[in-house]
Amino acid sequence: MNEGRSTVTVRGRVVLASGATMALGAWIFGVQELYALALAAVLATVAARVWVDLVRWRLDVSRHVHPTRVPSGHEARVELAVGNPAASSSPPVEARDPFDGGRRWARFSVAPLRPREVRTSSYRLPSTHRGVYRLGPLELRLTDPLGLASRTRITAADTSLTVHPEYEAVPMPGLSAHRDEDRRLAQPVIGKGGHEFYRLREYVPGDDLRHVHWPTTARIDDLVIRQPENLRRGRTTVVADLRRSVHDDESLERVLSAVASLSMSALTSGLQVRVVTTAGYDSGHGAGRDHGPALLDALAAAVTHRDRPGVAPFRLAGGLEPVVIVTTDGCLESDLHAAMRLSGTSATTLVVFERIAPGTAGAAGPAAGPGALGTPTDAVHLASGNVGSNPERPRRRPARRTVRVAPGQSFARAWSVQAQARVGT
């Protein structure tokens, strides 16, 4: 526990200022009684500060947040246990726990505790908005009976609450392709945990670099991955466009919610999921119960960033598996055309959030300039693929789909409609 230092409270400073005013009035007007009142004000404040310095007290506080990760809109609680390990009763103190960098505070009083007594309490934390919130450090403040001076001690170190973006279960048809040959082989593995060595293979963009087999890599001068199991699941990559120029506050939350929905639904479907952002985050491919919370933690902490001139925004998304890019109608056509070439022989799916209803003035949104994806016609053109020299015999290209989400429309509904149409074709 940090012992802290004693200070004069706001009330104490008012009393000192009043004493100084009375002393000045006594000097100007010759009212001698005001000198006595001024002296009393100073002595009371000094005595209060000495009192808080001399009182011996100690309280041990433990704080636990349950749970430390919550979806947006769900409840999180803080459990507090305050104990008095001293041989004498503790004085009454005030506890203050800052939340969200001090923007909000939890305040409560702690009544005197008998020796070795422990009391518990709890309070709820607001979790309506996505983000990573800092909680603490908790302060215990002892104030003299007149409220003129106080002493603050720091206890219960910082902790945090992670509020994940909202997400829904959505169907994942057409996103299970995988190029690894062993996916087509019914070769068994020893166990089901996925930690046994299966084989060495070449590096594929998105692989976790912690699985690099360095002896073989050094021998052949090329990255080689230690594959821990026979991959029988497909892979997919989900890309979040976090550029400030294509977002407003609402669209950012909708994009992150959509990325969370796609990622968690793909994991539930048995796919290996990789999430990348235009800010440079790359989760690598992963599956299992640990990968999902890690993805949601990264999305909870995501913020917009400035555009980087000369740098392709979706450069990290290239790979051999299907790619889903989630952006808004403020994204430039040139960026989308480049994105369409990322997934090689697999499908690319665009999810485009419209920020203003079509037909409204400035439909592409305040950030959309010339060349922005502002109308549904642009999306159809981008989804059609390139055509060969003979217009009657189009050259076969990977499937390229676009899912547009209108303002106020649920992403899960827009995606499900597209998924049903995909199954029906």
Most confidently predicted of 76-80, 171-175, 330-334:
76-80
60-164 and 234-424 have identical folds: no
Given this model, what pLDDT does residue 394 score?
44
Nearest to 68 by CA among 245, 300, 401, 237: 300
As a whole number, the mean pLDDT across the chain is: 79
More confident: 386 or 303: 303
DSSP 128: S
The enclosing H or E element of 291 equals helix 291-300
Nearest to 327 by CA among 239, 407, 412: 239
The CATH topology of domain 234-424 is Rossmann fold (3.40.50)
CATH architecture designation of domain 60-164:
Sandwich (2.60)
How buried is 220 (Cβ within 10 angstroms: 0-12 exposed, 13-18 middle, 19+ buried)? exposed
Write the CB contacts of 391 (distance below 8 Å, at least 6 apart in sequence).
none
Given this model, what pLDDT does residue 101 score?
76
DSSP 85: -
Locus of tokens 């919610």? 257
Report residue 228's pLDDT band, with 50, 70 and 90 as the boundaries.
low
Token readout for 331 is 């994204």
Beta strands in 130-216 (DSSP E): 131-135, 138-143, 149-155, 159-164, 199-202
More confident: 369 or 271: 271
Domain boundaries, the chain: 7-54, 60-164, 234-424
Q: Is 250 helix (H, G, I), strand (E, B) or coil?
A: helix
**CA-CA distances (angstroms) from residue 110 to 81, 99, 116?**
11, 19, 15
Interval 125-157: pLDDT, tens: 888 889 999 998 899 999 999 999 999 998 887
This prediction has a pTM of: 0.70
